[in-house]
A and B are shown apart, each in its own frame.
Chain A
Amino acid sequence: MTEKIQTSEEMEKETAVKTAPGSPEVKPEPEAPKPKKDPRSKLFRSDRMTIVAPAPHAKGKNSVPRIMYTVIAALLPAAIMSIVLFGTKAMVTLMVAVFAAMVAEFACNKIMKTGITVDDGSAILTGLLLALTLPPTFPIAGTALGAVVAIVFGKMVFGGLGANIFNPALIGRAFLQASFPVKITTWTLPALSGSGAYYDLITSKAVDTVTGATPLGLMKFEGIGTHLKPLLFGNIGGCIGETSAIAILIGGLLLVILRVADWRIPLSYIGTVFVFSGALWLIDPAAYPDPLFMILSGGLMLGAFFMATDMVTSPVTPLGTWIYGIGMGVFLVVIRIWGGLPEGVMYSILFMNGLVPLLNRWTRPRYFGEIQQEKKT
């Protein structure tokens, strides 16, 4: 691949500078014909083709599709848990979102003539993430629309993979929130939550659909807390993929261990929320929720491990990453406690996404030996 990128002219220039300092008569002539009286012609075997390319000639094993599919695999525990909790409806939502995202990407590829990029896995991932942030009762057409918006306006209009500023799945989700404000905040309690009623789509009998609020909604508007155990396992109202903190943690830790996700992001994001809300709780335990509840409820776990860590929309420098995570944490607590909404994960991530280009610029690492240089001058 490497040799296609550099033009031969550039390569020649490079060779000239690199190999012949101070010797004007040594000119790079890679293509020069062999002189006729070369006595070594008997040694020369031209029947073997080898590749001529600039170094390095070795390559690490990581690749973009590998990263994408690893994230998808890490999302599986959360996806399976969503099906366990919310039944076939969750499964349909997941499938529709993934399928719509892939179709949208394919269509964009065709229209924009970019070459097919569906197989790199990023569209699947966007669809999956979007689905996991939708409530179980969300209409199928809306899900599909959201996935299309996520791909088209969240990614492809910027120029495809790697060029977008905001997380595509969250763009889709923000669009749905603006278009269907009621539908997206109608929560069904999971089948296992104790009411005993299964929400069954296959028999199309919506048996005893129990609508209920999310723990955050309960906390914010009615001042009712939720116990930790249901928060961990997911027997609560909420989006299909965010309710079970344990399922998300399993996948999230896998990502961190495999270094697909930068560990600094979940740590700084969740850590900031914990510390900030913990400080408020210590000041007045009656008025503010306790910090464990804050980090386990809502979409924080999913957001911190899978959305904020999206490589394209997070900073590349270690320092930038810390600022990014802390910024999101502060933003989230402010929205949840003083803002008008019960949940703020989406907005906190999108807001900090917007700052990433600036963070990358401001936090350029000092290059090796730079400090001494400044001291000396």
Chain B
Amino acid sequence: MKLSTFKKGLHPEDYKYFSHDQAIETLPLPDDVYLPLQQHIGAACEPLVKKGDRVRTGQLIANSSSYVSAPVHASITGVVMDIEKYYHPLGMRATMIHIRREGEEEWELLEKIQDWKWTPKEKLLETIRNAGIVGLGGATFPTHVKLNPPDDKTIDSFILNGVECEPYLTADDRLMIEQSDKILLGMAIMMHILDVQKGYIGIENNKPEAIARMQKRVVELGYPFKVVPLKVKYPQGAEKMLIYSVLKRKVPYSKLPMDVGVVVNNVATAFAVAEAVTEAKPLVRRVITLTGDGVNQPKNLMVRLGTPFKDLFEACGNVKDDVHRIFMGGPMMGMTQYHLESPVVKGSSGIVAVTGELVEELTTFPCIRCGACVRTCPMNLMPLRLSKFTQEKKCEDLESYGIMNCIECGSCAFVCPANIPLVQWIRVGKIRLREHKAKKAKENA
């Protein structure tokens, strides 16, 4: 059978063997959690508790009046120690609510929904917002916004993203194997909210067990979904690529998937939606992969949000002494970590520790115009020119070469034989272009 996929892209070594047959383990409750006020794209939340307050698991502790935002819930039962700046895994310091565990765990649940099939759409969206659910694949865009497209857009298809194209990560894979029913339920709820009939589940065929399991449960539970096995290729998990792979639709430049009638959500998000709607549980935990050759016992862990990375590593037999890099997310797009006490946030899909054997220090050569980057870029850009224009500060050219189209997948830098940090330059270029435009707008005004 010919598997569908998108054009271009590349095949990095996937290293999933470290953790792909480790069943999800639940980490014992941590002693301290640190919950950033902002774990999503959109407006930051305001804290609703103060130092010394007792909180229960699932209690709302920070919220925002803005629509594009997601509230934060206490992930353990205990006392608020302080609200201060701590290290955030995205490489900065951000305000977080520090809770210390105390006493027995008590839950504070959301408002119960009796039967979601007969509940109005608005009510379900409100529940999803109140549960603080965001895109758990790493994008962290508030899910209720995604599920509520403007009236002038017609949505006809829903794609569940089970691709997990980043090397190393296996959290979604395990979740699909172990929690397929809840994921399918979450998908059904989201499709009900969007009122779409066609549902697709995109899974790369390096996860045969997950494909088989999902396929089986879809048939057994009588869902009208289609499981679409995809050819393994990076960056298939990127929304635009996935939509092309599954439906052969191209999302136009500077448009969103909803403009071609599609909504994409991650399997972990579907799981969280199912828990929120049917069990009234807010988002206080997620599955995260701890892996890499720098970890003694790679694992998939179900952890409470806000758990410091340090606790996770302890549960995995700690990191080896020759660890070279630790990053959150996959190796292609992940952020390097410099403090092991940064907490797990909603967008943490994995933490990878690698030793020097896998990632080497490389010398940079001049560009030899081999065209590898052009042949690889899934967005059909010319990374060599974009990086050159950035260095030369040619902002008009940056725009005409479509720099804003770049999804920062890192494929170009991966293949470049001259080891030029192409995507890194492109990120700088985007900022330069934005600054340039702002300056121009000011001059014209």
Which A residues fall within an 8 A CB radius of B?
Answer: 1-2, 5-6, 10, 13-15, 17-23, 25-30, 32, 35, 38-40, 43-45, 48, 50-60, 62-64, 66-67, 120, 159-163, 262, 311-318, 321, 360, 364-373, 376
In the complex, B380 has a CB within 8 A of chain A:
yes
The binding surface of chain A is classed by DSSP as: loop
Q: Which residue of A lies closest to B401 (CB)?
A: A364
Pairs of residues from A and B, 4 with the lowest C-beta to C-beta distance, nearest first: A56-B410, A162-B366, A316-B371, A23-B44
Q: Per-residue 0/1 for B401-425: is the Cβ within 8 Å of any A Cβ (1 yes, 0 no)?
A: 1100100101001111111010111
Specify which chain B residues have a CB less than 8 angstroms from the CB of A39 in the assembled complex. 32, 81, 98
Specify which chain B residues have a CB less than 8 angstroms from the CB of A66 in the assembled complex. 417
Specify which chain A residues have a CB less than 8 angstroms from the CB of B49 in the assembled complex. none
Beta-carbon contacts under 8 Å, B289-348 to A: 308, 310, 319, 321, 323-327, 329, 331-341
Q: Which residue of A lies closest to B428 (CB)?
A: A10
Which residue of B94, B167, B339, B378 is within 8 Å of A44 (Cβ)?
A: B339
How far apart are the CA atoms of A32 and B297 in the complex, in Å?
Answer: 32
In the complex, B440 has a CB within 8 A of chain A:
no
Specify which chain B residues have a CB less than 8 angstroms from the CB of A26 in the assembled complex. 38, 44, 88, 92, 94-95
How far in angstroms is the closest Cβ of chain B from A192? 38
Beta-carbon contacts under 8 Å, B346-405 to A: 352, 354, 358-372, 374-375, 378-382, 384-385, 401-402, 405
Given A15-B92, A35-B85: A60 and B10 interface contact (C-beta under 8 Å)? yes
How far apart are the CA atoms of A57 and B352 in the complex, in Å?
Answer: 10
Which B residues fall within an 8 A CB radius of A?
Answer: 10, 12-13, 32, 37-38, 41-44, 81, 84-86, 88, 90-95, 98, 167, 240, 244, 250-255, 308, 310, 319, 321, 323-327, 329, 331-341, 352, 354, 358-372, 374-375, 378-382, 384-385, 401-402, 405, 408, 410, 413-419, 421, 423-425, 427-428, 430-431, 434
Decide: B365 and A55 in contact? CB cutoff 8 A: no
Specify which chain B residues have a CB less than 8 angstroms from the CB of A120 in the assembled complex. 365
A–B complex contacts, Cβ < 8 Å, 8 sampled: A17-B430, A19-B88, A19-B91, A20-B92, A40-B86, A56-B331, A58-B12, A59-B413
Which residue of A23, A32, A50, A161 is within 8 Å of B93 (Cβ)?
A: A32
Specify which chain B residues have a CB less than 8 angstroms from the CB of A13 in the assembled complex. 428, 431
Which residue of B41, B336, B402 is within 8 Å of A53 (Cβ)?
A: B336
Decide: A368 and B240 in contact? CB cutoff 8 A: yes
Q: Which residue of A lies closest to B43 (CB)?
A: A22
Which residue of A6, A44, A318, A373 is within 8 Å of B375 (Cβ)?
A: A318
Given A6-B421, A15-B91: A54 and B427 interface contact (C-beta under 8 Å)? yes
Specify which chain A residues have a CB less than 8 angstroms from the CB of B367 in the assembled complex. 162
How far apart are the CA atoms of A62 and B11 in the complex, in Å?
Answer: 13
Q: Which residue of A lies closest to B314 (CB)?
A: A43
Decide: B417 and A64 in contact? CB cutoff 8 A: yes
How far in angstroms is the closest Cβ of chain B from A92? 30
Specify which chain B residues have a CB less than 8 angstroms from the CB of A367 in the assembled complex. 253, 379-381, 402, 405
Specify which chain A residues have a CB less than 8 angstroms from the CB of B413 in the assembled complex. 2, 56, 59
Decide: B93 and A51 in contact? CB cutoff 8 A: no
Given A50-B323, A54-B421: A312 and B368 interface contact (C-beta under 8 Å)? yes
How far apart are the CA atoms of A64 and B254 in the complex, in Å?
Answer: 35
Decide: A314 and B369 in contact? CB cutoff 8 A: yes
Specify which chain B residues have a CB less than 8 angstroms from the CB of A373 in the assembled complex. 252-255
Decide: B421 and A2 in contact? CB cutoff 8 A: yes
Q: Which of A30, A55, A162 has the most CB of B within 10 A?
A: A55
How far apart are the CA atoms of A2 and B401 in the complex, in Å?
Answer: 23
How far apart are the CA atoms of A162 and B418 in the complex, in Å?
Answer: 10
How far in angstroms is the closest Cβ of chain A from B341? 5
Specify which chain B residues have a CB less than 8 angstroms from the CB of A1 in the assembled complex. 361-364, 419, 421
Apart from A43-B308, A63-B365, A311-B368, what 12 extra A-B contacts exist at CB < 8 Å?
A5-B364, A10-B428, A14-B427, A55-B331, A55-B336, A56-B331, A58-B13, A163-B366, A365-B374, A367-B379, A368-B251, A369-B255
How far in angstroms is the closest Cβ of chain B from A70? 11
The binding surface of chain B is classed by DSSP as: loop
Decide: B92 and A21 in contact? CB cutoff 8 A: no
Given A15-B91, A43-B310, A64-B368: A59 and B380 interface contact (C-beta under 8 Å)? no
How far apart are the CA atoms of A58 and B333 in the complex, in Å?
Answer: 10
How far apart are the CA atoms of A60 and B98 in the complex, in Å?
Answer: 41
Specify which chain A residues have a CB less than 8 angstroms from the CB of B250 in the assembled complex. 368-369, 371-372
Decide: B41 and A160 in contact? CB cutoff 8 A: no
Decide: A51 and B325 in contact? CB cutoff 8 A: yes
Given A1-B364, A14-B428, A22-B43: A368 and B421 interface contact (C-beta under 8 Å)? no
Decide: B425 and A45 in contact? CB cutoff 8 A: no
Q: Which residue of B lies closest to A16 (CB)?
A: B92
How far in angstroms is the closest Cβ of chain A from B331? 4
Specify which chain B residues have a CB less than 8 angstroms from the CB of A48 in the assembled complex. 319, 321, 323
How far apart are the CA atoms of A266 and B61 in the complex, in Å?
Answer: 66
How far apart are the CA atoms of A360 and B254 in the complex, in Å?
Answer: 25
Decide: B41 and A21 in contact? CB cutoff 8 A: yes
Specify which chain B residues have a CB less than 8 angstroms from the CB of A19 in the assembled complex. 88, 90-92
Decide: B431 and A17 in contact? CB cutoff 8 A: yes
Decide: B252 and A376 in contact? CB cutoff 8 A: yes
How far apart are the CA atoms of A57 and B323 in the complex, in Å?
Answer: 13
Specify which chain A residues have a CB less than 8 angstroms from the CB of B358 in the assembled complex. 58
How far in angstroms is the closest Cβ of chain A from B33? 11
How far apart are the CA atoms of A51 and B362 in the complex, in Å?
Answer: 13
How far in angstroms is the closest Cβ of chain B from A19? 4
How far apart are the CA atoms of A48 and B93 in the complex, in Å?
Answer: 20
Q: Which residue of A lies closest to B322 (CB)?
A: A48
How far apart are the CA atoms of A313 and B381 in the complex, in Å?
Answer: 20
Specify which chain B residues have a CB less than 8 angstroms from the CB of A17 in the assembled complex. 430-431, 434
Specify which chain B residues have a CB less than 8 angstroms from the CB of A368 in the assembled complex. 240, 244, 250-251, 253, 378-380, 405
Decide: B371 and A315 in contact? CB cutoff 8 A: yes
Decide: B341 and A44 in contact? CB cutoff 8 A: yes
Specify which chain A residues have a CB less than 8 angstroms from the CB of B86 in the assembled complex. 38, 40
Decide: A20 and B38 in contact? CB cutoff 8 A: yes
Q: Which residue of A lies closest to B34 (CB)?
A: A40
Q: Which residue of B lies closest to A48 (CB)?
A: B323
Q: Which residue of A lies closest to B85 (CB)?
A: A35
Q: Which of A29, A44, A52, A60 has the most CB of B within 10 A?
A: A60
Given A35-B85, A369-B255: A57 and B325 interface contact (C-beta under 8 Å)? yes
Specify which chain B residues have a CB less than 8 angstroms from the CB of A40 in the assembled complex. 32, 86, 308, 341
Specify which chain B residues have a CB less than 8 angstroms from the CB of A14 in the assembled complex. 427-428, 431
Decide: A316 and B335 in contact? CB cutoff 8 A: no
How far apart are the CA atoms of A318 and B354 in the complex, in Å?
Answer: 36
How far apart are the CA atoms of A284 and B425 in the complex, in Å?
Answer: 57
Specify which chain B residues have a CB less than 8 angstroms from the CB of A372 in the assembled complex. 250, 252
Specify which chain A residues have a CB less than 8 angstroms from the CB of B428 in the assembled complex. 6, 10, 13-14
Specify which chain A residues have a CB less than 8 angstroms from the CB of B325 in the assembled complex. 50-51, 53, 57
Decide: A50 and B10 in contact? CB cutoff 8 A: no
How far in angstroms is the closest Cβ of chain A from B56? 21
How far apart are the CA atoms of A120 and B337 in the complex, in Å?
Answer: 34
Q: Which residue of B lies closest to A56 (CB)?
A: B410
Which residue of A21, A28, A56, A60 is within 8 Å of B42 (Cβ)?
A: A21
Specify which chain A residues have a CB less than 8 angstroms from the CB of B405 in the assembled complex. 367-369
